[in-house]
Amino acid sequence: MSVVLKDSLWRYFAEFVGTFILILFGDGAIVASTLSSQPSFGFIMVSWGFGIVLAIYAVGPISGAHINPNVTLAFAVTKRIKWVDVIPYIVFQILGAAAATSVLLVWWGDVITRIDPPPFLYADIGAAFFTQYPEPGFWPQYWPKSYLPNVSSAGILYSQVNQIFPLWKGAFAEALMTFLLLLIVVAVTDPDSPFYSQSLAPWAIGIGYVMPFLLFEAQLTGGMINEARSWGPMLALYLFGYRTGAFNFRGEYFYVYGIPDFIGGILGALFWDHVLKPYLRFVKNINKK
């Protein structure tokens, strides 16, 4: 095995480990809180923040700690990584998230299956592992008690939810928050920035990841801004026995949680590179003179 291939495998495995840490902390807090009698929103937010900080510290020196397909794709578009690494990075991120979800299912699976017997998955439990739009924990009046197989009931549900929460609102929220996340990521990791610090960057990114939740987006879309967070748990739950139910409500994983996040992340990185960073270069040149 060549040295180059060995190096690549270590980096890919590091993305697996980093995403595993993030999802274990973040989704672990959501599941534990959701299944308790007194859910704690603050506890969930702090867990996500520490999850991303610790993941970056753990694997950042090896792979860059993308732990998010949006980061990987945006970095490829802006030539921060090679395109050949994009697919492996994303695959290992999803597998890391699926592995973390599998651990949570080992811990909580018996409780969850008592509440939600497979193959159907109730909305609140589904959102505990990945995300839904609208977020059922905050908008239960527009959400079903379960994903009903009855076509007429489902049709009424779709009509009601679409009137209050059309897909474009969720897509805009995810795109905007992912834009801001990538703007923060590239700004604090750019050596040309006067605030660049390898030791403090994980905290800045952790806060940047959590703030959309703390502000408002968690109440709307669950604040995914990370496809691995959704696709990995969905894969694990499918293998666990949930073959239907909460996996593609209104096609939202294409229209809300897929393309908008990728576009927002790319635009966030490009905004730094071509709008904000040129001014830093201008100021540096002026100071040199």
What CATH code is carried by the domain that includes residue 143?
Answer: 1.20.1080.10
Task: Supply the pLDDT for residue 243.
Answer: 76
Taking only the tens place, the pLDDT of each residue in 145-168 is: 555 444 445 566 777 788 889 999
Single pTM value for the model: 0.90
Taking only the tens place, the pLDDT of each residue in 171-202 is: 999 999 999 999 999 999 988 887 788 888 89
Q: CB count, 10 Å around CB of 287?
A: 7
Contact 173, 179 (CB under 8 A): no
Task: Supply the pLDDT for residue 286.
Answer: 74
Taking only the tens place, the pLDDT of each residue in 254-265 is: 889 889 999 999
Find the Cα–Cα–Cα–Cα dihedral 105, 106, 110, 111, rounded to 10°. -60
For the chain, the distance separating the N- and C-terminal CA atoms, rounded to the nearest angstrom, is 51
Q: How many domains are there within the chain?
A: 1
Contact 60, 202 (CB under 8 A): yes
Q: What is the DSSP string of 32-100?
A: HHHTSSS--HHHHHHHHHHHHHHHHHHHHHHH----SHHHHHHHHHTTSS-GGGHHHHHHHHHHHHHHH
pLDDT per position in the chain (289 positions), as tens? 555 567 889 999 999 999 999 999 999 988 888 777 676 777 888 889 899 999 999 999 999 999 999 999 999 999 999 999 999 999 999 999 999 999 999 998 888 888 778 877 766 677 778 788 888 777 877 766 555 444 445 566 777 788 889 999 999 999 999 999 999 999 999 888 877 888 888 998 888 777 766 677 888 888 889 999 988 998 898 888 887 655 566 778 888 988 999 999 999 999 999 999 888 877 777 766 6
Quote the domain boundaries for residue 264: 3-288
Residue 254 carries which side chain, given as an amino acid letter? F
d(CA 89, CA 105): 24
My answer on whether omega of the bond before 119 falls inside 30° of 0, hence cis, is yes
